[in-house]
Structure 1
Amino acid sequence: MKSSPRPAESAAPLAPGPGAGEKGLRSGALGLFSSVAIGISSTAPAYSLAATLGLIVARVGLQAPIIIMLAFVPMLLIAYAYRELNAVNADCGTTFAWSTRAFGPHAGWMGGWGLIVADVITMANLAEIAGIYGFRLVGLESLAASRTWTTVAGVVWIALMTAVCYVGIEVSAALQRWLVCLEVATLLLLAVTALVKVYTDGPPTALHVSASWFDPLNVPSPQALTTGVLAAVFIYWGWDTALTVNEETADSRRTPGRAAVLSTVLLLVLYGLISTSAQAFAGVGTTGIGLANPDNSRDVLSGLGGAVFGTTGPGPALTELLILMVLTSAVASAQTTILPAARTVFSMAAHKTVPTGFARLHRRFLTPTWSTVGMGLVSIVFLVLLTSVSHNVLADSIDSVGLAIAFYYGLTGFACVWYHRRVLTRSLRDLLFKGVLPGLGGLIMLFLFCYAAFHVYAAPDYGATSVRLPLLGRVSGVTVLGLGSLLIGLALMPVVTRGHTAALRLQRSLLPHRLPTLSAVESASRYLPADTRSGVGGDWYDVIPLSGSRVGLVVGEVLGHGLRAAAAMGRLRAGIRVLARLDLDPDELLTHLDDMVREEDDSGNPRGVGVTCLYAVYDPVDGRCSMARAGHAPPLVADPAGGVRYAELPAGRPLGLGGPPFQSAELNLPVGSLIALYTDGLVQSVDGRRGLAETLAGPRRPLESLCDEALATLLPGPVGDDAVLLLVRIRRLGAGQVADWELVPDPAEVARARLLVTGWLDEWGLAELVFTTELIVSELVTNAIRYATGPVRVRLIRDRSLICEVSDTGHTSPHLRQAARDDEGGRGLYIIAQLTECWGTRYTEDGKTIWAEQALPAEG
């Protein structure tokens, strides 16, 4: 009997989670050496020098070595930005993830799009170069000159490198280690041999190394300096691949950052040595092996290899080895170009920014399945499409990749500054490495982007193609392709970020727009939505005015993210406000809320399993605070003297799971005590809770300042999960604001109650309210004496309104009705409802309290 095939989900499971280290990639597979090897290989040193050195020399002449070294500066600055961001969020999405956290989903999408565009265009270029050099290596020059055959060979190389990336990061890393070592060794051999011949038996073009070569002031013009740096800066591009494999690297928060910085430094040494030795050997002439010869501008190493190594002995073999190194450099770079693109798409899918199918992992290799295959297929389609349309368009697209690189590198630099903005003043190191250096790198990239797009590349005669645009006239195809590819991402952005925007808008609309101003408490709050599309969730808080000048405090969290979690949060918040108005005790309120959460929708799925909540009621008359929690973290309580403790409350179970009943605990708090309610997104760990306690300890400070300080300490950058902080400083009503007395259950006491009310209202200057208040008290006390037993208590509270409360030992709730004409009674509550703003009943352990509120007369 034939067994049924496994479903696709079994063979390629989705990433378990979107967070750093949670996506299911093979963690700990790479060490520092492998990360550095991947970073260097991604820049394709041999190919980059072969294709760029001649162009730089043509622009700046003998100052080419210092221009290449100056181009290292912005790359090092951006490398520091990568290192600092990776230390706090080792996400393989790198620029996408970090820009999302710093600036929101729109900037994150564009950062990820810029990286993908750069990688896809470069893949097409590298594949074509690999095809050309593959044929040249075996002497098939005719095939190397054929566009069709080089395209076919390029497709084969892309497929092979995609397969290597697909079968596992260890295989990719092992291949890169061997290739980069062989490549660097060959380049160093070329440099040393060239320098030796310069000072022994050099060619007529040979020049002795001079200090003037390293003086940028000798560059002919500022324009030549800028265009030279612009050309040189991108030969360093690619080292950030060491960061995109961070979730597969041992010590993922530190090793990738170190590898990035180390890669750029090693590239500086290598490029500086090669450019200096090549210039010393070949000179900067425009004929022969001169580096400024336009015939060699796209490949200076091939012609240079034969001259340096000679044509006898091992010379031809070494020359062939150099050609092989250009080939393997392009191949290795193609492979390591697939890695960052695939992992960026994988991270975007895990965060639900692109279809979740791209977040699937190979069960055995633990590599992104459709992200890797998809990037290979897109690169093949792009290569075939452009070569079939026009080889000139392909050439211009290769030049335009610099705009995408400058865009996402610069965005990363600015993201680092904004991400860490709250801690820049913490130390000199933080200011330098998290602020000044990344910010300067971002500014340099911004300048290069604008200068290249609107000055250098925009010139109609730049590149192989030009396009006539409305209002602008004829513009180089390089600018059109570079800016056009980014604008495509901008056009797609509203579609892919629509879910996050809708969830965030819903979340904010359901939370309090401002906290009420109450006599019982002073309050301040902060809500930080998660910074990823999947992160916007169901955290909420509330401050609810209750009867008797009491106040209800709420904080809660719905498990999950997106629109569903936000909608569930809104439903629960509305439910709590309704239940709170019934003056229920905290444990009773949570019981009713638990029933609501356990309701099932039409599909039979629980609506809100995994909800936590804490509800507290504070009474400013007696200073008592009653609390109950359902699986939520206990609140932090700071006394007026500066001591801090966590309130001891029964843990309770999360809502919707069933189990034992909830329990309330009662705290007697001194005036000026501070209560901090929060969600897990704020503290996240024991250290976070300790940090919150340390922030709230000490002398009395304004609540707004405490909120800001707490967020700066606990969440120096944007958050991966929703975070809520609600700070409440309690107050007590003064003795002159409350009048309280007890009556015996005797009808004669009704007249005494009216006299006591009149006296207090006269003392408070509220003579205007005497008539209505006497009527209210008469009706309520009469009903209490008639229908209940035991003493009757009357309390007047002068707060923002006048509150009259009558308490008795009965548990029968009065009902408001409109009496018929022939009824002898039943009109009392109806009259009270007409004369007051609101009224109601709350139950206590000893009976019930009926209360009514009247607005205070306007001050003259």
Structure 2
Amino acid sequence: MKLSRSPGASDAPLAIDSGAGKKGLKSGALGLVSSVAIGLASTAPAYSLAATLGLIVAGVGLQAPIITMLAFVPMLLIAYAYKELNASNADCGTTFTWATRAFGPRTGWMGGWGIIVADIIVMANLAEIAGIYGFRLLGYDSLTESRLWTTIAGVIWIGVMTAVCYIGIEISAAVQRWLLFIEVAVLLLFAITALVRVYTGNPEMAIHVSASWFNPLHVPSAEALTAGILAAVFIYWGWDTAVTVNEETADSTRTPGRAAIISVVLLLVIYALVATSAQAFAGVGDAGTGLGNRENAGDVLSGLGNAVFGAHGVGPLFSKLLILMVLTSAVASAQTTILPMARTVFSMAAHKAVPTRFARLHRRWLTPTWSTVSLGLASIGFLVLLTTISDNVLADSIESVGLAITFYYGLTGFACVWYFRRVLTRSRRDFLFKGLLPGLGALTMLFLFCYAAFVVYAAPGYGATVIDLPFIGLTGGVTVVGLGALLLGFVLMLVVTREHAAALRLQRSLLPPRLPQPTAVEMASRYVPADSRSGVGGDWFDVIPLSGTRVGLVVGEVIGHGLLAAATMGRLRTGVRVLARLDLDPDELLSRLDDLVGQTAKERAAVHGAGAAGPREDDALGVTCLYAVYDPVSGRCSMSRAGESMAAVVRSDSGVATYPDLPPGPPLGLGGLPYETTGFQLPQGSLVALFTDGLIQAAADDIDVGLGLLTGALAEHRRPLEELCDRAVATLVPGPANDDAVLLLVRTRMLDERQVAAWELTAETAMVGKARAVTTGQLGAWGLDELSFSTELIVSELVTNAIRYAAGPIHVRLIRDETLICEVADTGHTSPHLRHAAADDESGRGLFIVAQMAQQWGTRYTPTGKIIWVEQALP
């Protein structure tokens, strides 16, 4: 059987996108019934009871039924976590995706690894059981004792179930429905027949059902109670498969969660009924068919088959059906174990957490190709390897699966609480189903993990092997194998998430470490990095102090992800800051930046084009950017954009959020229409919100819906900016999204008229003296007499140059802010240049002297001329 070479697989496409429901899996293929069937079949109810009920009875005696019922509670709590998380993000990666969004890519990767470890280990067990029961069903009991033949049969079963999963989710679901029907029908037949015989035939070891069986206080000790629940909780494992196939389910945000809850409740009914009837019929004795007989602990149902159904008439047939039931249970569970394992790896590949080849889909059946086949082969390899090494190691490996299960179930519960932490106080329902119940489930799983790993499984007498660990001593092999498998995943995690961690560090280091606090505006910002290795990109924001107390505001979004995107962002941010210091208008700044990107692209194409598959373009091509300049003296704000960037404005006089209709401009480097600037007046106290697409697309794919949510978050615009930022992020990005999100909030201020003094002078030489006089008088009024000499000299030189080299009126303006700013405007368009005058030059020293006295100086151009500005530090 050549699964990897079926039609269409050789050129299978990659997942279309990494977003929930966008990877290309066959959506709408499953309904509620199929999802419930998959969830139930994954738990293998018949086999789970056959293999576990004897162990539970050995620990707690007659209280076995209540123990199987109590184990339902933490599973139900975790099922609610799955339901709520799936409603928010229906991603087939489940724990991997949700933990990544809640805690970051490293924690998410470990959650995915926990699923992989649990599924591969249990696949080996299920395949071996299917082989053994297949021989029993056919009457070849002697082959069940042969390690070689049971392994061969197990390999065949894995291959068959992998093939079924490979050729389509509908076929998988159909097979599950029939297998589950046989399993549940025979279980109900067994339970009813056993109870009827207890109350009508009085079998030898039968005992009548008692209310004390359902009282946990009758368990001998707290340790026995914990150990019993620890054994019983794993018989519920597997229902989460109903959620793992969410991207292939109709109404993917609701149906999988409902299926998970229904599956857990149905399991409770089945387990309570079968456990009660089996105990009533066989008792808890340690001889014969008694459930306490350790010889039958690995399979109590098969031993009870002949006793319950009898050896005459249809009894042998029903006994065979009981064997068939355990066989179908193991086979069904093996198949549904492949489904979540393959889709978890598929999602991890789509998010670039594992090699992308595992994100390939079959063109016809729309099933994961590489991940399905590879994990089937991995399960076969694990079974053959451990069977070859030792049956004892295989047995301990199978028992250690409980550690992986409690690990990723508990992680999912904690992820739910942290993911929704900002909305837990929104309503009682949110607090209960998003916080309290998942949190209790997570704490229960954490306790079970620690108790099992460090108390039960670590005991030298537990399990089939004992290992002498350095500094620890003799330790049970189950703990060593289970924790060792998780530790292996931790080591792999450090390797595969290295690039993401480096990209995130680079991204954060290139963003402003803290915002400046100029007089012009009050500011607050939020940067939410994407949730996965594929998502960390190059969104950025910046606040740039400009001359004349103005301030430049910028947000940008780089196409792409990872280190290249972060590096490109740093290059563009630096370019914007350099160009902004030239005091360019927003449209001219974007034009210069566009030229820079285009020129870089041509240079790279020239270098990499020769002999390469194709020219390498600049990573900055297609970047969107919005640049705004706000002037607190005039209250005017000017904006220009490259791409589809938007801004929100809440005027202080109206309090209504609007989105200015900015002229369209092409993304950087792509050419097209020229950039244009839009200007408008803002009253003091107005709110300006600059943001990237990731902010409004995280909550909804519809941009209008996202903008509506942002409008609502900014409604109470007079609140502190930090609080408004938190509200906006909590509303629009309740957890990190598939794309970076940036929000920059700015509340405008205006300078007091007493901080600004301006005069208009004619272009006459006599005006130089007048300029010095009014300047000295204004400095005296401001109490800045210490700056009179230097400021007179600066004004005198600048006004003299304006009279000499320009025509028309001259404007002098003084601004007292954090520095003293002197501005001289004229109608000339020629910028002065600083130079060193020779010893015999009679001119050229004035601007040099000005530069020595100034903290900084420069030139900015206006539609009517230019302004030369000089800043001095206040005494």
User: Percent same amino acid among aligned pairs?
Assistant: 73
Cα distance between partner residues in 1 of 2:733 and 2:17: 21
What is the aligned partner in structure 1 of residue 761 from structure 2? Answer: 743
Displacement of 1:606 in angstroms is 2.5
Distance, in Å, in 2 between the alignment partners of 1:696 and 1:503 is 31
Secondary structure class of the residue paired with 2:683: coil
SS in 2 for 1:561: coil
Bigger mean CA offset, 838-847 vs 609-618: 609-618
Q: CA deviation at 1:463?
A: 0.8
SS of residue in 2 equivalent to 1:343: helix
Which residue of structure 2 aligns with residue 113 of structure 1? 113
Mapped pair 1:840 → 2:858: yes
Compute the TM-score of the two structures, normalised by the length of structure 2: 0.96
Aligned partners of 2:504 and 2:473: how far apart in 1? 42
Once the 2 structures are TM-superposed, how far is the Cα of residue 538 of structure 1 from its aligned partner?
A: 1.0
What is the aligned partner in structure 2 of residue 207 from structure 1? 207
Q: 1:725 to 1:746 in 2, by over 3 A?
A: same
**Following the alignment from structure 1 to structure 2, what is the Cα–Cα distance between the partners of residues 175 and 312?**
32
C-alpha separation between the residues in 2 aligned to 1:546 and 1:6? Answer: 64
Given that residues 594 and 668 in structure 2 are in contact (C-alpha distance below 8 angstroms), is that contact kept between their aligned partners in structure 1? Answer: yes
Conservation of the 8 A alpha-carbon contact between 1:90 and 1:253: yes
> What residue in structure 2 maps to residue 462 of structure 1?
462
SS in structure 1 of the partner of residue 400 of structure 2: helix
**Counterpart code for 2:639:** M
Return the alpha-carbon distance in structure 2 between the equivalents of residues 580 and 93 of structure 1.
Answer: 44
Contact (CA 8 Å) 2:717, 2:724: kept in 1 or not?
no
**2:381 maps to what in 1?**
381
In structure 2, the residue matched to 1:639 is 651
Paired residue type of 2:712: E
> Within 2, Cα distance between the matches of 1:48 and 1:10?
38
Match of 2:692 among 679, 698, 709: 679
Q: Is the 8 A contact 1:597 1:606 kept in 2?
A: no
Alignment check: 8 A CA contact 1:212 1:218 kept: yes
Listed as ranges, the matches of 1:334-733 within 5 Å are 334-598=334-598, 599-600=600-601, 601=604, 602-603=607-608, 604-607=615-618, 608-641=620-653, 642-684=655-697, 685-698=703-716, 700-733=718-751
Shift of 1:610: 2.1
User: Which residue identity lines up with residue 636 of structure 1 in the other structure?
Assistant: A
Counterpart residue identity of residue 756, structure 2? V
CA deviation after TM superposition for structure 1 residue 718, in Å: 2.1
Query: Which SS does the other structure have where 2:250 is aligned?
Result: coil
2:302 corresponding residue in structure 1: 302
Q: Match of 1:806, SS?
A: strand
2:135 maps to a residue whose letter is F
Looking at structure 1, the residues matched to 508 and 63 of structure 2 have their Cα atoms a distance apart, in angstroms, of 57
Q: Does 1:757 align with 2:775?
A: yes
Please list the CA deviations of residues 171-190 of structure 1 after superposition, one character each: whole Å capped at 9, or x if unmatched. 11110011101110110011
Distance 2:734 2:391 in 1: 49
Q: Distance in 1 between matches of 2:277 and 2:439?
A: 34
Q: Which runs of 5+ in 2 are unaligned?
A: 609-614, 698-702
Does the aligned pair in 1 maintain the 2:94–2:344 contact within 8 Å? yes
| 1:162 maps to 2:162 | yes
CA separation in 2, counterparts of 1:298 and 1:513?
Answer: 61
- Structure 1 runs of 4+ aligned residues shifted over 3 Å read 5-10
How far apart, in 2, do the equivalents of 1:81 and 1:720 lie? Answer: 21
- 2:303 aligned with 1:291, yes or no? no
State how far apart, in whole Å, the 1-side matches of 2:339 and 2:561 are.
29
Q: CA deviation at 1:847?
A: 0.3
Tell me the equivalent position of 1:193.
193
Structure 2: distance between partners of 1:375 and 1:643? 55
CA distance in 2 between counterparts of 1:257 and 1:829 reads 74
> Secondary structure at 1:468's aligned position in 2?
strand
Q: Secondary structure at the match of 1:234?
A: helix
How far apart are the structure 2 equivalents of 1:698 and 1:712? Answer: 15
Query: After superposition, where does 1:229-268 map in structure 2 within 5 Å?
Result: 229-268=229-268
Q: 2:843 and 2:292 mapped to 1: Cα distance? A: 110
Equivalent-residue separation in structure 1 for 2:9 and 2:396 (angstroms): 41
Gap change, CA 1:8 and 1:585, over 3 Å in 2? farther
CA deviation string 1:460-500 (max 9, x = no partner): 01011100111211111011001111111111111011011
CA distance in 1, matches of 2:845, 2:662: 45
Per-residue Cα deviation, 1:642-688 (whole angstroms, up to 9, x for no partner): 22211222132222221010111111111111101111111113222
Question: Which moves more between the two structures, 697-706 or 63-72?
Answer: 697-706
| 1:219–1:225 Cα contact (<8 Å) kept | yes
Q: Does 1:138 align with 2:149?
A: no
Residues 650, 717 of structure 2: 8 Å contact kept: no
Task: Report deviation, 1:10.
Answer: 6.8
Q: Deviations over 1:792-839 (max 9, x none)?
A: 111011111011111000111111111111112111111111111111
* 1:3-26, Cα deviation, whole Å (9 max, x unpaired): xx9999972111111111111111
CA shift for structure 1 position 597 = 2.2
* Residue matched to 2:796: 778
**What amino acid is aligned across from residue 398 of structure 2 in structure 1?**
I
Q: For residues 44 and 220 of structure 2, what CA distance do their matches in structure 1 show?
A: 29
**One-letter code of the match for 1:733?**
L
Q: Is the 8 A contact 2:8 2:363 kept in 1?
A: no
Q: Contact conserved, 2:8 with 2:364, CA < 8 A, in 1? A: no
Which amino acid letter does the alignment assign opposite residue 665 of structure 1?
T
Answer yes or no: is the 8 Å Cα contact 1:643–1:698 preserved in 2: no
Q: For the residues of structure 2 that align with 1:7 and 1:704, how far apart are their CA atoms?
A: 57
TM-score by length of 1: 0.98
Q: How does 1:57-206 map onto structure 2 within 5 Å?
A: 57-206=57-206
Query: In the alignment, residue 611 of structure 1 is paired with which amino acid?
Result: V
Cα RMSD over matched residues?
1.3
CA change 1:46–1:10 in 2 (3 A) is closer
Deviation string, structure 1 residues 58-105 (Cα, Å, up to 9, x no partner): 111110000000000000000000000011111111111100000001
Alpha-carbon distance, 1:787 to partner: 0.7
Q: CA offset at residue 223 of structure 1?
A: 1.0
2:821 corresponding residue in structure 1? 803
* Length, aligned pairs only: 853
CA 1:45–1:588: 2 relative to 1, 3 Å? same
Note the alpha carbon deviations across 1:256-312, whole angstroms, 9 max, x for none.
101111000000000000000111111111111111111110001111111111111
The residue type equivalent to 1:208 in the other structure is H
Q: Is the CA contact (8 Å cut-off) linking 1:421 and 1:717 kept in structure 2?
A: no
Change (3 A) 1:8 1:799: farther
- For residues 456 and 71 of structure 1, the distance between their equivalents in structure 2, rounded to whole angstroms, comes to 17
1:18: which partner in 2? 18
Measured after TM superposition, the shift of residue 130 of structure 1 is 0.7
Q: Please give the alpha-carbon distance, in whole angstroms, between the structure 1 residues aligned to 2:163 and 2:710.
A: 49
**CA offsets, 1:575-630, max 9 Å, x none?**
00011000000111111111122231233332122211111111111111111111
